[in-house]
């Protein structure tokens, strides 16, 4: 590790993560037109945001910066792969890591991994249901579309909000901070799907001051101090490609799949850019004798 990287990593441990995120939350919701429009214009310039895809390119049409950041896209710009058993990317982003879950562990970066039980804040039995299965970690950069959609049909059953740090989740921190995704605040959403119970993990990060879902609403803030289980109202199945949540500022999504339930496309690799709705694999329905991941 270079001296510059070491100093930057050390700073990550010292920064007041939640205080900075609370400030970001308030600033992103300033409604004063000259201020919020200036923030939107500067952000578009800094991150080369493609406004041609946005449902509106006009800053005046957004009540505040966060409304722009979580902007909807024009109908049809993210076609969802139509195959009945196609697994699709839930977000726009870049693959951080993808592959098998071995011995209950998930690869974070070269030389770093963490356990499924740590990530899910679960008991060993729940975590064991995913051993031998597959995972994919997708990083959303600031310029990306920040709504999260269903990778396949599923019914939300419950979610677990896990308090934690708010380290940056950029590539360099993933390569520098051990157990990064299992240390950051996160929301673990479980869905009943044809291939078993699927966790979709929304990982918080520096300045990711709020996460929300269509079935829980805004979950953070406030920032909790204990692990909390959230149960949605009885919900219908969310279809593949339908919105299930959003990051109010960017972060990372991790999907876990039980053993023998799906196969990723062979050309998926770390660093690959994905678009929401793009086919990333093919799932197969699990037989009753295979059990379910409870």
Please state the rounded mean pLDDT for residues 66-81.
Answer: 95
pLDDT at 225: 80
pLDDT at 171: 82
Query: In the predicted model, is pLDDT for residue 207 greater than 80?
Result: no
Predicted local confidence at residue 261, as pLDDT: 92
Tell whether the model's pLDDT for residue 289 goes beyond 60.
no
Query: Which value, to the nearest 10 degrees, does the dihedral of the CA atoms of residues 103, 264, 89, 277 take?
Result: -160
- Is 149 an annotated catalytic residue? yes
- Could you tell me the end-to-end alpha-carbon distance of the chain, in angstroms, rounded to an integer? 41
DSSP H helices in the chain: 3-14, 17-27, 33-47, 65-69, 116-120, 124-128, 171-174, 180-183
Please compute the mean of the pLDDT values over residues 20-33 and round it to a whole number: 90
Note if 131 is an active site residue.
no
Catalytic residue among 64, 149, 161, 216: 149
- How far from 185 is each of 57, 121, 262, CA to CA, in Å? 32, 11, 28
Q: Is the pLDDT of residue 282 over 80?
A: yes
Per-residue pLDDT, averaged over 222-243, amounts to: 88
Burial 263-284 (b: 16+ CB within 10 A, else e): ebeeeeeeeeebebbbebbebe
Catalytic residue among 64, 89, 92, 146: 92
Give the pLDDT mean for 208-230: 83
Per annotation, catalytic residue among 21, 122, 251, 261 = 251
The question of whether 176 is a catalytic residue gets the answer no
**Average pLDDT for the chain:** 90
In the predicted model, is pLDDT for residue 150 greater than 60? yes
* Residue 262 near residue 196, CB atoms below 8 Å: no
SS3 content of the chain, % helix, strand, coil (to 5): 25, 30, 45
Q: CA-CA distance, 241 to 277, in Å (whole number)?
A: 6
How would residue 287 be classed by pLDDT, with cut points 50, 70 and 90?
low
Helix (H, G, I), strand (E, B) or coil at 286: coil
Judged against a pLDDT cut of 70, whether residue 290 lies above it is answered with: no
Predicted confidence (pLDDT) per residue in 151-182, tens digit: 999 999 999 999 988 888 888 788 888 999 99
Tens-place pLDDT, residues 89-142? 999 999 999 999 999 999 998 889 999 999 999 988 899 999 999 999 999 988
DSSP symbols for 137-150:
EEEPPTTS--EEE-
């Amino acid at each position: 590790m270079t001296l510059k990287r070491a100093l930057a990593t050390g700073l990550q441990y010292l920064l007041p993560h939640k205080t900075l995120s609370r400030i970001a939350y308030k600033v992103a919701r300033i409604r004063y037109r000259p201020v919020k429009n200036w923030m939107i214009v500067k952000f578009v310039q800094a991150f080369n945001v493609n406004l041609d895809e946005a449902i509106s390119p006009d800053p005046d049409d957004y009540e505040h910066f966060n409304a722009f950041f979580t902007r909807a896209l024009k109908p049809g710009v993210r076609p969802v792969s139509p195959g009945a058993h196609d697994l699709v990317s839930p977000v726009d982003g870049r693959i951080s890591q993808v592959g098998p879950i071995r011995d209950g562990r998930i690869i974070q970066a070269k030389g770093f991994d963490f356990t499924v039980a740590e990530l899910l804040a679960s008991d060993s039995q729940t975590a064991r249901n995913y051993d031998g299965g597959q995972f994919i970690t997708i990083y959303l950069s600031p310029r990306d579309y920040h709504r999260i959609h269903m990778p396949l049909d599923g019914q939300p059953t419950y979610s677990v909000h896990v308090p934690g740090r708010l380290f940056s989740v950029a590539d360099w921190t993933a390569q520098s901070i051990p157990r990064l995704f299992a240390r950051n605040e996160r929301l673990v959403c479980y869905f009943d799907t044809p291939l078993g119970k699927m966790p979709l993990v929304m990982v918080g990060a520096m300045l990711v001051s709020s996460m929300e879902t269509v079935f829980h609403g805004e979950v953070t803030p406030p920032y909790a101090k204990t692990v909390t289980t959230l149960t949605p109202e009885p919900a219908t199945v969310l279809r593949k490609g339908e919105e299930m949540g959003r990051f109010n500022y960017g972060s990372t999504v991790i999907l876990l799949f039980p053993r023998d339930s799906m196969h990723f496309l062979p050309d998926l690799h770390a660093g690959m850019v994905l678009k929401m709705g793009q086919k990333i694999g093919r799932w197969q329905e699990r037989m009753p004798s295979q059990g379910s991941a409870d």
